[in-house]
Structure 1
Amino acid sequence: MSVVLPGELIQSQHKNLKLGPGLQQSGDLQGRASIVVTRAGTLEQNTKGNKFWVEGNSRRYVPAVQEPVVGIICARQGEGWRVDIGSAHQASLDGLAFEGASRRNRPNLKVNSLVYARVSLAHKDMEPELECFDAQTRKAEGFGELKGGFLVRCSLKMSRNLIDPNYFLLPLLGSRFPLDAAVGMNGRVWVSAKEVKQTIAATRCIEAADPDGGGMDQTAIKKFIGTLDL
């Protein structure tokens, strides 16, 4: 892990390299390849060494293909919708990009509805495109309209923490009360519990653990939960 700045070059010999946010391919990725850093932050990689990204504690989301996002429906557009995902440009969501959708059978999303979607197209010269199913199975796999619950806004760093299965917070909350959550890589988290006070507690814990907020660790969060009315 190292701090990188825009314009720096990263070298990699991995043949099946995947680039995440903050990096852009330069040249051929077969064999030794050059990767250009496009934003400041810390350079991260997965355990296999085949995926790199730049981790920065920013609230401006840069879409990346296959990343899950929580979007807000802004307007109807032809056979689909315009969706706010917190990036520089709104994304488009086709009415057929849902499990089982057809010309006669498609979701009826209203303005301000929430959707959990996956980025299917992300290019600097084109607007992002979304889909609400798994591209391989064509099944929803948890994607689609999010009904009820509450939308929590957090830093992109916190989103990445929450989507990591080894991160403590969601399992800790789930051990205290039943909780549904949809984590978007765009700094938005949808949470829903049986009782309103539980939903509020989950929201406050996410905000307290956010590096942009309190930055509490597991021990501090456990103590914090003890002060809440559950």
Structure 2
Amino acid sequence: MSVVLPGELVPAQHVNLKLGPGLQQEAASQVTATRAGILEHSANNSRWWVESNSRRYVPAPQEPVVGVITGRLGEGWRVDIGSAHNASLDALAFEGASRRNRPNLKVGSLIYARVSLAHKDMEPELECFDAQTRKAEGFGELKGGFLVRCSLRMSRNLLDPNHFLLPLLGSRFPLDAAVGVNGRVWISAKEPKQTIAAARCIEGADPDGGGMDQLALKMFLDSLDF
């Protein structure tokens, strides 16, 4: 773990390098920090980002987000993803979408999307399919369920395959989840009390909230009647 400051060079190198918030690639493939914080990277060093106390999400390409439809925009929609500006989502940015076959999203609908374009001088753009396979791969409209808000750090923790919380919840009851790095987690369980329990566990494990560990959350779940 190391602390970086704005303008500092970062030793981020990988064949499929993906940069998250707080980092940008300069000429000659140099990567520099754009804000102060703790330098983090994935286990295989392909993803790098700067963890800070920022509450506002800063979009970065290829990151998954949970968004809320706020209105129409030409042939697509405007989407609130918790960043400084709304994102745009084209009606054709879905698997199998065409001029005659497109989603019917309404204001207030939730979507799970990937950031396809992010630039400081332009509004972010989203797509609801995997950029490589052109398949939905879990992206698209999120129907039913419940939206939980958490810190940006917690959402990145949940996307880590080694984090204990989602496997722990999945061992207690069937649960569908879509985790966005923008501090939003969509969850859906068969019974309302299971959804409430999952939401409370996410809030309890949040480092900016209760910061409960695996043992404490196991005890909490053991005290509930499912």
TM-score above 0.5: yes
Aligned to 2:181: 185
Matched with 2:59 is 63
2:79 pairs, out of 72, 79, 83, with: 83
For residue 28 of structure 2, give the secondary structure of its aligned residue in structure 1: coil
Structure 2: any 5+ residue segments left out of the alignment? Answer: none
Give aligned pairs, total: 226
Report matched runs for 1:1-230 at 5 Å.
Answer: 1-11=1-11, 17-29=17-29, 33=30, 35-230=31-226
Distance in 1 between the 2:71 and 2:65 partners?
Answer: 18
For residues 197 and 60 of structure 1, the distance between their equivalents in structure 2, rounded to whole angstroms, comes to: 30
Across the aligned residues of Structure 1 and Structure 2, the Cα RMSD in angstroms comes to 1.5
Amino acid at match of 1:25: Q
Q: Could you tell me which amino acid in structure 1 is paired with residue 104 of structure 2? A: N
Residue by residue over 1:4-37, the C-alpha shift from the partner in whole angstroms, topping out at 9 and shown as x without a partner, is 22232324565654322111122211xxx3x221
- Post-superposition shift, 1:50? 4.1
1:88/1:96 CA distance change after superposition, 3 Å: same
Q: Does the CA-based 8 Å contact 2:178-2:187 persist in structure 1?
A: yes
Q: CA separation in 1, counterparts of 2:63 and 2:105?
A: 22
**Structure 1 stretches of 5 or more lacking a match?**
none
- TM-score (norm. length: structure 2): 0.95
**Shift in Å, 1:227:** 2.7
> Which amino acid in 2 is paired with 1:47?
A
Residue 151 of structure 2 aligns with an amino acid whose one-letter code is S
Deviations 1:23-74 (A, max 9, x none): 1122211xxx3x2211221011233334321112432111111110000000
CA contact (8 A) 2:12 2:48 kept: no
- Which amino acid in 1 is paired with 2:180? G
Q: Say if 1:57 and 1:155, in contact at 8 Å, map to a contact too.
A: no
The AA in structure 1 aligned to 2:163 is Y
Q: 1:13 to 1:64 in 2, by over 3 A?
A: closer
Letter in 2 for 1:41: G
Going from structure 1 to structure 2, the CA distance change for 1:47 and 1:166 (only over 3 Å counts) comes to closer
| SS state at 1:28 partner | helix
Aligned counterparts of 1:222 and 1:104: Cα–Cα separation in 2: 49
Q: Which moved more, 1:56-65 or 1:157-166?
A: 56-65
